[in-house]
Structure 1
Amino acid sequence: MTLGNQPPHDPSHLADADEVDLLCPGCNADLAMDETFRAWSVCGACGRHFWISARDRIAMLAGGQPVDEPPYALPALDPLTYHDRLPAPDRLSDVRDRGALENAVVVARLDLGGTRSLVVALDSALLSGGLGIVAGDKVLSAFERAASESLPLVVICGGGSGPVTDGVLAAFQPARIAGALQQLHRTGQPMIAVVTHPTGSSIRTGLASFADILLLETGAAKDGLRPDATVARRELASRLGGILGTLGRRPVSTAPAEGPALTLAESTDHAKVRLERAGGRNVVLLSLEATGLNLLSIPVLVRGQRLSHTLDLPLVVHLSSTSCSPAGEPAMIPTIADGLLRHRTPVVVVLDGTFDGSVAPLFTGDATIATAASGFCPAGNRGRTYPAADCLRLGLFDAVVPNLGEPAGAAELDRLLDRMLGELERYSPGRRIDRRIAATIRRGAETPARSEATWRELHDLSDLQGAIGRSLDDMRGRLERRQRKLPQVASFPAFQELQHRAALMQLNMPKFQERGTALRDRLTARRPRPEE
């Protein structure tokens, strides 16, 4: 059903300014002649957001464009199995009242920033008890329609602030919504939720918390939610258009001019998730500072990988380090590496800094790119630092680009990402994971430098084995001669050869020394006496 062109907000329901004083309870400003209030139901003086109906929200988001409201039929009751407990007149009145569902949950197709979307608006006044069975069915039908038409879904959440709708079937609505969301995700489309005031806990936890991107309208309470951004009502349509454009697959020329649309809520000082534009396509950018990784980074990692998987977007991991120091939480490294190896979408790791050997398991993407100033110090601050060019020659990195602070570096990185991601997107998820694991196993194993390093390591092992053998032979000989005064092992000539090898001194080796008359008596007691 097409409603035709509608104004952003129809203030005809407001009383005439000469008949009543309309004041803002926040700042006591006169709202009767406030143009901001008449257009957006927002106080122009203090920015207080007032309640509006679900249909007014749809009209505001439409901004004058035609509102296409898809048909929805109420669930039919089978007269053979349903026994009505109300008299006929009361039931007819009840059926007429059920028309309020059209205003309690409003569903419409809209163009938001050039992206065709399905928008669901909940009326916080009509749904004060939360999502019941009937309203829940209409919301579920919107999820199914978005999945069948492959449209992103925007849900304006409101209601649930009054007494909760009673009944076990009503309480089960969140589980049904979780299943419908998976259908939507299988089409690669996101769900964006906007929490308005008032929104109670039943709708927060049963609907809004499932969203891939969570926005908070100005004036709405967080109450345990972690919104990705707070948006004023008059900016909501443009902000949604920018986010949908970043999440979608529009050409670069039509990407939002404001650049990155969003830094997600779980981001910390050492771990951030952003929706970015790189390599001519939309990606999920996961930025990690290696020496600052801690337990607070776990939600960031989970959110970034989940968003990349859900929306079928490549994952670009930007790993930085300010010093050649161990990772902040070394125990987290295997978990992060395992997640990168098993990730379904393409993974490219970009290194920027000098990295300790404990961070090496994170170099496990489909491709690893390093900046020219990057380096790898396997032994930490105590040993040699191998520059990026040497690591490239050894087969540890796939490419080296100029420093990202230089214009040439950013341009070269974008060109490489375009080529690499284009090649990786040709493979199925399973095949891509197999190739990633195989490439990680082969890193550094197919270069001429490996043959030289192998010969050097075998030579060192042979020398070490010979030194240990000579030392053990010396000890064995001295034991067989049963000397009454046994020197310490460290004084044996052969063992002195090993003293310069610090690692061997940590071995649990026996220590020989003189034990006095007890050892002498035991040795002489074994000799036969002359008189015998």
Structure 2
Amino acid sequence: MMKDFFTKKKKYATVPSAKARQDVPEGIVRKCPKCKKIMYVKELQKHLFVCQSCGYHYPISAQVRAEMLFDQNSYVEFDRNMVSLNPLQFPNYLNKLESDRKKTGLNEAVWTGKGMIEGYETAVAIMDKGFRMGSMGSVVGEKLTRLVEYADQNGLPVIIFSASGGARMQEGVLSLMQMAKTSAALKTFSKNGGLYISIMTHPTTGGVSASFASLGDYNFAEPGALIGFAGRRIIEQTIGEKLPEDFQTAEFLLKHGQLDQVIPRSELRNVLSRILSIHAAGGVEG
């Protein structure tokens, strides 16, 4: 039955190296980091920020993803005014947070809220790597936990889009505590019969990949997404071996049984709506 949810697997570009990334004027044209094709931004927007030449999926902001995901004018944001403090008095931390607020329009690295997907009300979290590289601090963990608890109380499914460099070092052990906190909330949600869909985007790493991002009833990823805990170089130095070129890509994880499917952005909304419809009908496909 699982196969009926999905289209056939396609080959997509892997994550580009830092050397391959070249900036071009925003708002006019962009050069694909993988195949180097130059495209108008309007054309990219039309195709959900996916290169039509090689399939490279550009990272997108939380707001852009929300607009792609939800039915028009159907979503509301939760806990927008919740902001991080500086519990460890880490130098310049508050200034960096303020800079990222201005850059992204978010007060933290995750957007949480609810909305309709093809008419199905859903609780959703969308991480934004533009804010402190999507790192998980105490506010990110609190917002995710509140979202899951809200969904539990109101009988809603949960979808979380992960995009993170891991736990936020400026908050020390408080950030690491969020791994257990979010995982515990999801465990309670699952025991009460809740549906949780995890979607890993580029990148999903560190403490996020080792906690809530890997706990879905369905674990999906976008093509080419980097997914893993420790960095490639650290692992190679630790085990004394050269790793495969596609190591820690979504496609590698799918091949080794750690994902249910790699889903192109253009197909994701349809897949989600079908899963939501089946679960709303009590697991019986109509």
- Counterparts of 1:153 and 1:105 in 2: how far apart (Å)? 14
Which runs of 5 or more structure 2 residues have no equivalent in the other structure? 1-24, 228-247
SS at match of 1:172: helix
Whether the 8 Å contact between 1:104 and 1:127 is mirrored in structure 2 is yes
**What's the counterpart of residue 148 of structure 2?**
143
* Same amino acid, percent of matched pairs: 26
- The 5 A counterparts of 1:353-364 are none
- The 5 A counterparts of 1:416-427 are none
Whether the 8 Å contact between 1:109 and 1:117 is mirrored in structure 2 is yes
- Counterparts of 1:83 and 1:234 in 2: how far apart (Å)? 41
**What's the counterpart of residue 235 of structure 1?**
267
- Counterparts of 2:129 and 2:55 in 1: how far apart (Å)? 20
**What's the counterpart of residue 110 of structure 1?**
115
Whether the 8 Å contact between 2:122 and 2:157 is mirrored in structure 1 is yes
Q: CA deviation at 1:174?
A: 1.5
- Counterparts of 2:177 and 2:88 in 1: how far apart (Å)? 24
- Counterparts of 2:93 and 2:136 in 1: how far apart (Å)? 22
Letter in 1 for 2:261: A
Cα deviation, 1:318-367, whole Å, max 9, x if unaligned, reads xxxxxxxxxxxxxxxxxxxxxxxxxxxxxxxxxxxxxxxxxxxxxxxxxx
- Counterparts of 2:74 and 2:118 in 1: how far apart (Å)? 14
Which runs of 5 or more structure 1 residues have no equivalent in the other structure? 1-12, 251-275, 281-532
Q: CA deviation at 1:37?
A: 4.5
Letter in 2 for 1:125: G
- Counterparts of 1:115 and 1:140 in 2: how far apart (Å)? 21
Taking a change above 3 Å as real, the CA distance of residues 30 and 63 of structure 1, as seen in their structure-2 partners, is farther
Taking a change above 3 Å as real, the CA distance of residues 14 and 66 of structure 1, as seen in their structure-2 partners, is farther
Cα deviation, 1:165-200, whole Å, max 9, x if unaligned, reads 552221121111122113322442211110001111
SS at match of 1:277: coil
**What's the counterpart of residue 188 of structure 1?**
193
- Counterparts of 2:82 and 2:185 in 1: how far apart (Å)? 19
User: Which of 27, 43, 46 lines up with 1:15 in the alignment?
Assistant: 27
Taking a change above 3 Å as real, the CA distance of residues 76 and 121 of structure 1, as seen in their structure-2 partners, is closer
Letter in 2 for 1:194: I
- Counterparts of 1:203 and 1:93 in 2: how far apart (Å)? 24
User: Which of 40, 44, 59 lines up with 2:52 in the alignment?
Assistant: 44
- Counterparts of 1:175 and 1:83 in 2: how far apart (Å)? 19
**What's the counterpart of residue 67 of structure 1?**
75
**What's the counterpart of residue 284 of structure 2?**
277
Q: CA deviation at 1:121?
A: 0.1
- The 5 A counterparts of 1:430-445 are none
Q: CA deviation at 1:40?
A: 1.1
SS at match of 1:135: helix
SS at match of 1:180: helix
- Counterparts of 2:184 and 2:167 in 1: how far apart (Å)? 26
Whether the 8 Å contact between 1:214 and 1:228 is mirrored in structure 2 is yes
Cα deviation, 1:188-237, whole Å, max 9, x if unaligned, reads 22111100011113211111111111111111145357111111112211
Q: CA deviation at 1:38?
A: 4.6
Whether the 8 Å contact between 2:71 and 2:115 is mirrored in structure 1 is no
Matched, 1:134 2:139: yes
Whether the 8 Å contact between 2:71 and 2:118 is mirrored in structure 1 is no
The root-mean-square deviation of aligned C-alpha atoms, in Å, is 3.4
Whether the 8 Å contact between 2:83 and 2:108 is mirrored in structure 1 is no
Letter in 1 for 2:61: S
SS at match of 2:39: coil
Whether the 8 Å contact between 2:27 and 2:41 is mirrored in structure 1 is no
**What's the counterpart of residue 242 of structure 2?**
none
SS at match of 1:226: coil
SS at match of 1:40: coil
Whether the 8 Å contact between 1:35 and 1:44 is mirrored in structure 2 is no
Taking a change above 3 Å as real, the CA distance of residues 83 and 54 of structure 1, as seen in their structure-2 partners, is closer
Taking a change above 3 Å as real, the CA distance of residues 102 and 242 of structure 1, as seen in their structure-2 partners, is farther
Letter in 1 for 2:269: A
The two structures have a TM-score, normalised by structure 2, of: 0.68
Max Rg structure:
1
- Counterparts of 2:176 and 2:60 in 1: how far apart (Å)? 26
Whether the 8 Å contact between 1:147 and 1:184 is mirrored in structure 2 is yes
- The 5 A counterparts of 1:153-164 are 153-160=158-165, 164=169
Letter in 2 for 1:227: L
- Counterparts of 1:57 and 1:110 in 2: how far apart (Å)? 13
**What's the counterpart of residue 24 of structure 1?**
32
- The 5 A counterparts of 1:349-388 are none
